Amino acid sequence: MNLTFLLSSIQLIGVLLPLVSFVAMFRRQQIKASMNYMFSNMSLMLTNLGCLIINASYWLLIWSKTEDGAFIALKMEYLGNVLFYLSFILFIATYFKMQTKAMVVVPMLLQSVLDGLLVINLWIDDPFHVVFKNLEFGKWDVFSVTYMRAEPGVLYLVRYCTLCMILFWGLLYTLLKMFRMRIPQERNNMAKLAGAEFVICMSLQIMLFFRVPFDVVPISAALSILSIILGVLKGEFFNFADQGREWVIEHSDNVFVIVDSLYGYLDANPKAKRVFPELPFMGKNKQL
């Protein structure tokens, strides 16, 4: 098989997977659902959108004919990169109902600052060379495509090391919750989430510690969230009938606290959170 065709096919798959998934998820949004569901689903859709931007930009980069075109594609890729990782971390936090906890808010604020600095520096052509000490584009003769040769700068290293630590902590937390979970469906969902986190962590490690001419992050990002999105579309992660009932409960003037079969906390309506102020700070499946 022609190697150029193989590389092009791989990257085209990386573009099509998030595109089809985004359209499918957008069409399934037409339902009155609880606020937590809408927030979780929106963060997953933004993750998917970021993944689409990463893959489409990288496809443009590798087929660019000029260095200027490749650099513009690189800028767009990092916009998608920032959107993907922040939205994915937010999805994990909302899934475990930890988005208001300091242990999540503080790292996300730190990561947001680093991401903002990275994007700003790239879009003003990195004048202080804090993102890349040296950046070159060349032609990869084996595949007849453009590749990037870069020496990481201090901001690049700090940003990605911080991101790796956050994602690795999220992976450990997910695995801990998965092994302690007794409900098969929830355990299966957490296994899919842990698998996605593992793939993302490994792709970051490869790009940080090994110099490879082909960026594995775009296709890894697309594959990592595929099982989660399929689970959402099949109603495994968020059952749409249940979410419709939760919407009714959420707008009720009565107190409702939703628990699993082992009396672990899942959610509560606004009335219950006003009556019991500690509820918004409880983790998912925590025993009441």
Q: What pLDDT does residue 110 have?
A: 93
Q: What pLDDT does residue 249 have?
A: 63
d(CA 200, CA 275): 40
Q: Is 180 exposed, middle or buried (0-12, 13-18, 19+ CB in 10 A)?
A: exposed
Looking at 8-12, 91-95, 174-178, which range is the least confident one? 8-12
Helix or strand run (H / E) with residue 83 = helix 67-95
User: What tokens does 264 get?
Assistant: 């672990």
Residue 132 has pLDDT above 50, yes or no: yes
Q: Which of 65-69, 76-80, 136-140 is the most confident on average?
A: 76-80
pLDDT in tens, 217-266: 888 888 888 878 877 777 666 554 455 555 556 666 777 777 766 667 77
Helix or strand run (H / E) with residue 134 = strand 132-140
* Bridge partners of residue 258, in order along the sequence: 267
Looking at 36-40, 224-228, 242-246, 274-278, which range is the least confident one? 242-246
d(CA 6, CA 9): 5
Q: What pLDDT does residue 54 have?
A: 92
- Taking each continuous run of H as one helix and of E as one strand, the counts in the chain are 10, 4
Bigger pLDDT: 274 vs 133: 133
Give the pLDDT band of residue 31 (cuts 50, 70, 90).
very low
Residue 19 has pLDDT above 60, yes or no: yes
d(CA 225, CA 109): 23
pLDDT in tens, 72-85: 999 999 999 999 99
d(CA 78, CA 85): 11
Q: What pLDDT does residue 130 have?
A: 93
